[in-house]
Structure 1
Amino acid sequence: MTEDDLHGGDDAATNRTPEERVGLIPTWIVTGDDLNRAERANIAAGLRWVRHAVCRPTFLAGRLGREAFTWGRAELTDPGETRADYIAALKVADGFDLEPLVAFARL
């Protein structure tokens, strides 16, 4: 019986080589499964941030009696044109130009 027989060729159970582990910030990552778990945790944390970043201004607009933000009228976590437009507007806002982000939020 070989290692492949035990795991059915599942790469998640295979130890990462030292070369593959170079540059990984979480030093506890040893297997593909460890890497998958770290990626899922990172994605979940990012989604929580996106929800917070979108909900807070919408809540504030409502409290100020302003029209609610629509945020492109789409799910911002789904890949596609709307998300690309949102990310582009965020990058411009990083340079202190908020017009594209406000325009996107009001679509």
Structure 2
Amino acid sequence: MTDLFQEPEDATPITPEEREGLLQSWITHRSDLNEAEQENILDGAAWARARRGRRPADLLSVDFARTLHERMFGDVWGWAGQYRQTARNIGIDTYRIPTETAALFDDVRYWVEHDTYPPDEIAIRMHHRLVAIHPFPNGNGRHARLIADLLIERLGGEPFSWGGGSLADVGELRAAYVAALQAADNHDIGPLMAFARS
């Protein structure tokens, strides 16, 4: 058994105040937390896929992104869907989150409307920027991957495989994902696009 709040080395740490937002008293170990979050994420994904509106623009908004995060994590965390209020080891300053998140979705709507990039590249660029903003206390990667999957589906493509395994566990797959994100940080989107379809 591992410490409930022991995060992988490259994951976003949860502050003591955010830990107080844990809603389920039966969660006492990391495996319990992972199980509860995964079940909640599946419910959030089902909710998103059942929503009316099939246009990409229907999900490219701050309101949708925040509601999706709440749907993905709201049974586990009291702060689900709320922007983080503290600095992190990744992400922008907290005061910039609302503006940068809105600008991201404006940009993605423009890319879709004007075929700026191929569909896969639009979804992956959106995913990368959303992870780089890191708007929420936790769950940013999982949230950004689901939004990318929803977008590519609405653009007529298949959901991404994201390496075909769990990115929650420390290991080679997670290391490859983090390396691909870091390459995108350095303006090389290719490795992240390849990883998403691997």
TM-score, normalized by length of structure 2?
0.32
Q: Which runs of 5+ in 1 are unaligned?
A: 1-35
Work out the CA distance in 2 between the residues paired with 1:82 and 1:40: 28
Answer yes or no: is 1:45 the counterpart of 2:137. yes
Query: In structure 1, which of residues 83, 98, 101 is the aligned counterpart of residue 189 of structure 2?
Result: 98
Report deviation, 1:89.
0.2
Q: Which residue of 1 aligns with 2:155?
A: 64
Between Structure 1 and Structure 2, the one with more helix by share is 1
Change (3 A) 1:68 1:45: same
Q: Percent identity?
A: 44
Q: Which runs of 5+ in 2 are unaligned?
A: 1-13, 20-87, 89-135
Work out the CA distance in 1 between the residues paired with 2:158 and 2:191: 17
1:45 maps to amino acid? P
Report deviation, 1:51.
1.2
Report deviation, 1:45.
3.1
Work out the CA distance in 2 between the residues paired with 1:92 and 1:55: 21
Query: Could you say what the CA RMSD is over the residues aligned between the two structures, in angstroms?
Result: 2.4
Q: Which residue of 2 aligns with 1:6?
A: none
Report deviation, 1:95.
1.0
Larger RCO of the pair (alpha carbons < 8 Å, separation 6+): 2
TM-score, normalized by length of structure 1?
0.58
In the TM superposition, structure 1's runs of 4+ consecutive aligned residues that sit over 3 Å from their partners are: 39-42
Paired positions, count: 70
Work out the CA distance in 2 between the residues paired with 1:39 and 1:87: 27
Report deviation, 1:98.
0.5
